[in-house]
Amino acid sequence: MKFTAENGSFKALVHTAGVSGTVKDLKKIYDIDLVASEILVDAFYDLATENSVAVLLSSMMGHDVAPNAEYYKALMNPQESGSFETVSRFVGGSSDVMYNFAKRGVQLLIQKNANKWGQKRARIVSVSPGVIETPMALKAAEEHPERMEMIKKATPLQRNGKPEDIADVVHFLVSDKARFITGTDILVVGGVMLNIKTNKS
């Protein structure tokens, strides 16, 4: 933060670091995927100026978490004492479900911070990828091959995503062409959520 402040203005933060449910450690998933996201958002807010933008990577799986006042409050305040314990009660010991909850928390952080960032005329958004062929996704495919194949078949575009599919969206969001987009989550999933929701109904 000091280096950035001393070497120019802060235009964009793109936070992509995260771990999946393959880690099998609920606390580590929560801390890396959600707590660290809030720490970074808070730190870089101090550097934000007019037209700055923060882009956080969430996941389409965050949209699989049903609204609930109790754990939504915890997810929106992940650094508060007892937050992790509250969320843990709802995930049934599953690291995959904790991943979903943490990524929903990232989306909620965007909503929580939009007005605050807006006071600086800065923007904050999240991007929720679908199945993107990264090493993390390929590892998940090894552990859940049937599920991954089901998602691919349910995707209207009939393919998994490529890293450049996400990079191009992020590039747009940090540009001035996206100057009126803030406080929202952008799904980049090849349309799969339409069919998944249809199948659930």
Which residues are the active-site residues?
99
Query: Per-residue DSSP letters for the chain?
Result: -HHHHHSS-EEEEEE-----GGG--HHHHHIIIIIHHHHHHHHHHTTEEEEEEEEEE--GGGGGSPP-HHHHHHHHSTTSTTHHHHHHTTTTT-HHHHHHHHHHHHHHHHHHHHHHHHTTT-EEEEEEE-SB-SHHHHHHHHH-HHHHHHHHHH-TT-S-B-HHHHHHHHHHHHSGGGTT--S-EEEESTTHHHHHHHHH-
